[in-house]
Amino acid sequence: MTRPQLKPPIGPEDHAQGPADAPVTLVEYGDYECPHCGLAFPVIQRVQEHFGDRLRFVFRNFPLSEVHTFAAHAAESAESAGAQGGEEAFWAMHDAIYTHQQDGPRSLSDEALARYAADAGVDGRAVLEDLRAQRFAERVQRDFMSGVRSGVNGTPTFFVNGVRYDGNWTDADAFAADLEAAARAG
């Protein structure tokens, strides 16, 4: 049986860390409120440290809004930060949201998101305005729909070099070993 493929392929709208010609591209469909995604966050960081420039990491939004009340606004706030401050601001916001995810029931409120945005070097008030106007809702929805087309039905879901990864992502060493195998396979 053929494993699901990433649809669409990575493009200029995607948020990526690492060189485009890296031997391994890891795509995560994530939800900022999902506890499993929160557990994956430090694992991904360890894998990135292990691979360095041999890994390109891409994040796509997949907020499960029916069960995670704050997920869509968290995704939109990261997009707002990125629009204001570029990729560096997007990734700073992404990291801040996951770092604070478990701080308590208000850790993903709009006010908290505005604080994280300010800490990421962008205008927190502008992020709040973008949330109220739903400026990035369509962008988040495009990511979500690409996940649906790619066969994503939960978070986190990973793709390695365009193919869904169904292995163990909870153990950084095991995950890195599988990614090393993908790098060798080319």
Condensed to tens digits (0 to 9), the pLDDT of residues 154-185 reads 999 999 999 999 999 999 999 999 999 999 98
pTM over 0.95: yes
Tell me the CATH number at 150.
Answer: 3.40.30.10
Amino acid at 22: A
What's the whole-number mean pLDDT along residues 13-22? 97
Classify residue 155: in a domain, yes or no: yes
Residues of the chain with pLDDT > 70: what percent? 99
CA–CA dist 163, 177 (Å, integer): 16
CA–CA dist 29, 55 (Å, integer): 17
Distances (CA, A) of 143 to 79, 92, 111, 181: 11, 19, 24, 28
Q: What's the confidence (pLDDT) of residue 2?
A: 84
Could you give the number of structural domains in the chain?
1
Classify residue 32: in a domain, yes or no: yes
CA dihedral sign, ordered 84, 115, 106, 45: positive
Condensed to tens digits (0 to 9), the pLDDT of residues 113-125 reads 999 999 999 999 9
24 or 2, higher pLDDT: 24
Classify residue 7: in a domain, yes or no: no
Classify residue 3: in a domain, yes or no: no
Q: What's the confidence (pLDDT) of residue 65?
A: 94
Task: Tell me the residue range of the domain where 77 lies.
Answer: 15-185
Classify residue 157: in a domain, yes or no: yes
